[in-house]
């Protein structure tokens, strides 16, 4: 007897990625030979490699997760749903380091290697994780000729009002990071965008093997084996980044996580994080990252913003702020510029140009994922809120942070 396991309700190996939020899955018998009865009880478990991710299961959309689930499955090929999720605190280190297995008794009848793919603290990545990330990022840049040029062109002085200084700041950047992450995953599906936890020392990030070490001039140097040495934006080679702090410590003056999460339980108060720690993190350096029109030239920008997004995610989790219909979740009080209201589509993914929008819309629609359907190719501001599917499962975006639970 053979069974097929579909992760994220897809038979494609490209969909075999889970996070903390539950992924809908299916199991069905594809070859019933040897089946003792029209329905068989199949036990689904996860088997982890050493140091690998851990997967937990439940049979329905609600309920407790456990390390295994046993399901009655018809042998006529009818699919039976179940849910799988990464066990909080046990992310994968590499693709396929945990295998979901289905057994009929003691007989293995089906398996699917999966990855618990989670956005992690960049300072704590393994060497392999780090190398995969920089390789993918360098390839996306492709010496200024790759898809990264679109991401650079999405974040310029001309386009900045679409995403800064008004309530859409957090939703827009969440979509922006997700779009980039999916493009990286198209190169290497094991990639999850790491974050720079800027309120803590992160010496492992600012090294020649990772995002580079700056000399006193602010010129960033890379190891000979680091493909980021070929980084190019706007036709100009290299990265300028001059830390105004010792990179063995955290930048001074930043609101720490507790202070940031304590800004307030209402979104209008919380979003003042745009000034500090977000703006202060940017201006803890001289160089590209310290000006809005050039910040996206530096790959560190995306790790900085991943942390801002993580803070938002954590605030949402702590305060139950996933529902756009709940006033405290957003600032929709009226008078917001275009692109900063819940029902507004977001540039550039909406393809709208001219008037109150920038003259061109680089990059096209937001990248799709083989794992989830959300937020769609032309997301609205409101589509960025329920990233875990806490309110409605279809809203799940397929990413999670290592220290932000699902429930």
Partner 1 sequence: MARKRRAAKRPRGATKTPTAVKRSARAALSVATSGRRPVRKRVAAMAQAPLAVCESDKDLQAMLNVLRNEDEPVKVRLAALQSLGAAAFSVIAFESCRGDYLAALRKVATDPNPELPQRVLGLLMREKDGFAQRKLLEGLKNPDKALVPPEKALQLLSYDVHAEAYAAARAIVGKPPNPDARREALRLLAADATAAPLFEKLLRDKKELREIRQISASALHALKPDRLQQVAREIVLDKSDYDDIKATSLMALATFGDDKALANDTVLLNSVDRFGAGKAPSKYKQGARRFLRKYGR
Partner 2 sequence: MRPVATANAQSEPQFAAMVDALAADLDRRDRLMDLLREDHPVYDQRGAAAIVRMRGWLLVALARAGVSDAALIFVLEELDTGVDAYLVAAAARALRSYPNPTENLAPFVMRALTQIRYRDEPVSFERYGDYAVSSAGTSPVRELLATLAWLGPRARGVLPELEALRAQGSGLAKKFRIDIDRALHAIRRADQVDEPATGSCCAPPAGLGDTVSRPLDSRGGVETIESLVFEDHRGDRIAFKEFFRGQPSIVVFFYTRCDNPMKCSLTVTKLARMQKLLEAQGLSDRIHTAAISYDPAFDLPERLRVYGQDRGVVMNAHHRLLRATGGMDALCAHFGLGVNFIESLVNRHRIEAYILDAEGRIAVSFERIHWDEQQVVSRAIEVLEERGSCGGTRAQGAD
| Residues 347-406 contacting partner 2, CB under 8 A | 353, 355-356, 358-360, 362-364
Pick from partner 2, partner 1, none: which does 23 bind, CB < 5 to 8 A by kind?
none
- Among 142, 176, 123, 165, smallest CA distance to 397 is for 176
Q: What angle do CA 169, 173, 174 make, to 5 degrees?
A: 115
Pick from partner 1, partner 2, none: which does 283 bind, CB < 5 to 8 A by kind?
partner 1
Pick from partner 2, partner 1, none: which does 248 bind, CB < 5 to 8 A by kind?
none
The rounded distance, in Å, linking the Cα atoms of 226 and 215 is 17
Using CB under 8 A as the binding rule, whether residue 294 contacts partner 1 is answered as yes
The rounded distance, in Å, linking the Cα atoms of 184 and 138 is 10
Scan for tokens 């769609």, then name that residue: 376
Residues 397 and 371: beta-carbon distance below 8 Å: no
Selected range binding partner 1 among 95-103, 176-184, 375-383, 391-399, rule: CB under 8 A: 391-399
Selected range binding partner 1 among 11-19, 114-122, 221-229, 364-372, rule: CB under 8 A: 221-229
Of 162 and 190, nearer to partner 2 (C-beta) is: 162
The rounded distance, in Å, linking the Cα atoms of 321 and 319 is 6
Q: How far is the CB of 124 from partner 1 (least distance, A)?
A: 21
Using CB under 8 A as the binding rule, whether residue 307 contacts partner 1 is answered as no
Pick from partner 2, partner 1, none: which does 202 bind, CB < 5 to 8 A by kind?
none
DSSP state of 11: -
Pick from partner 2, partner 1, none: which does 362 bind, CB < 5 to 8 A by kind?
partner 2
Q: How far is the CB of 279 from partner 1 (least distance, A)?
A: 3
Q: How far is the CB of 30 from partner 1 (least distance, A)?
A: 30
Q: How far is the CB of 63 from partner 1 (least distance, A)?
A: 11
Using CB under 8 A as the binding rule, whether residue 392 contacts partner 1 is answered as yes
CB 41: neighbour CB atoms within 10 A?
12
- Among 230, 404, 233, smallest CA distance to 317 is for 404
Query: Which member of 293, 327, 364, 373 binds partner 1 (CB under 8 A)?
Result: 293
Mutual orientation of helices 300-319 and 169-187 as an angle, nearest 10°? 120
Using CB under 8 A as the binding rule, whether residue 161 contacts partner 2 is answered as yes
Integer-rounded Cα Rg, in Å, for the chain is: 22
Q: How far is the CB of 146 from partner 2 (least distance, A)?
A: 8
Query: What backbone torsions phi and psi does residue 314 show, to the nearest 5 degrees?
Result: -70, -40
- Here's the x/- map for partner 2, 74-113, by CB under 8 A: it reads as ----------------------------------------
Helix, strand and coil percent figures for the chain, each rounded to 5? 30, 20, 50
The two tokens of residue 180 are 């980039």
Query: What backbone torsions phi and psi does residue 305 show, to the nearest 5 degrees?
Result: -70, -25
Displacement of CA 81 from its chain's centroid (Å): 25
H or E, element range at 23: strand 23-31
- Here's the x/- map for partner 1, 97-136, by CB under 8 A: it reads as ----------------------------------------
Query: Which member of 124, 217, 249, 368 binds partner 1 (CB under 8 A)?
Result: 217
Q: How far is CA 398 from CA 21, 161, 299, in A?
A: 8, 28, 22
Using CB under 8 A as the binding rule, whether residue 160 contacts partner 2 is answered as yes
Using CB under 8 A as the binding rule, whether residue 334 contacts partner 2 is answered as no
Which residues are near partner 2 by CB under 8 A?
145-146, 149-150, 153, 156-158, 160-161, 234-235, 335, 353, 355-356, 358-360, 362-364
């Amino acid at each position: 007897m053979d069974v097929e396991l579909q992760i994220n309700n897809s038979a494609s190996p490209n969909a075999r990625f889970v996070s903390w939020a539950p992924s809908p899955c299916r199991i069905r018998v594809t070859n019933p030979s040897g089946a003792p009865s029209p329905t068989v009880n199949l036990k689904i478990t996860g088997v982890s490699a050493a140091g690998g991710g851990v997967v937990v299961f439940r049979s329905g959309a609600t309920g407790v997760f456990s390390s295994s689930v046993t399901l009655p499955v018809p042998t006529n090929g009818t699919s039976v749903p179940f849910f799988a999720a990464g066990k909080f605190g046990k992310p994968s280190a590499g693709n396929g380091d945990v295998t979901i297995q289905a057994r009929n008794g003691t007989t293995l009848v089906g398996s699917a290697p999966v990855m618990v793919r989670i956005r992690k603290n960049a300072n704590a990545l393994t060497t392999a994780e780090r190398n995969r990330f920089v390789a993918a990022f360098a390839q996306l840049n492709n010496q200024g000729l790759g898809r990264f040029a679109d991401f650079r062109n999405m974040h310029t002085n001309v386009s900045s009002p679409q995403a800064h200084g008004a309530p859409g700041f957090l939703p827009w950047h969440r979509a922006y990071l997700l779009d980039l992450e999916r493009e990286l995953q198209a190169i290497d599906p094991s990639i999850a965008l790491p974050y720079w936890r800027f309120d803590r020392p992160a010496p492992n990030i600012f090294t020649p093997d990772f995002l580079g070490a700056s000399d006193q001039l602010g010129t960033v140097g890379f190891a000979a084996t680091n493909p980021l040495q070929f980084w190019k934006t706007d036709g100009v080679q290299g990265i300028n980044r001059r830390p105004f702090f010792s990179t063995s410590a955290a930048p001074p003056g930043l609101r720490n996580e507790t202070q940031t999460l304590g800004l307030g339980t209402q979104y209008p108060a919380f979003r003042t994080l745009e000034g500090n720690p977000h703006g202060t993190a940017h201006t803890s350096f001289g160089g590209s990252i310290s000006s809005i029109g050039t910040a996206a030239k530096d790959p560190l920008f995306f790790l900085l913003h991943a942390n801002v997004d993580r803070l938002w995610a954590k605030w949402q989790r702590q305060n139950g702020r996933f529902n756009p219909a709940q006033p405290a979740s957003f600032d929709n009080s009226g008078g917001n510029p275009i692109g900063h209201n819940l029902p507004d589509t977001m540039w550039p993914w909406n393809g709208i140009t001219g008037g109150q929008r920038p003259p061109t819309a680089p990059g096209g629609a937001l990248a799709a994922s083989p794992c989830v359907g959300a937020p769609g190719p032309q997301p609205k501001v409101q589509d960025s809120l329920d990233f875990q599917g806490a309110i409605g499962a279809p809203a799940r975006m397929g990413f999670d942070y290592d220290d932000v639970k699902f429930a």
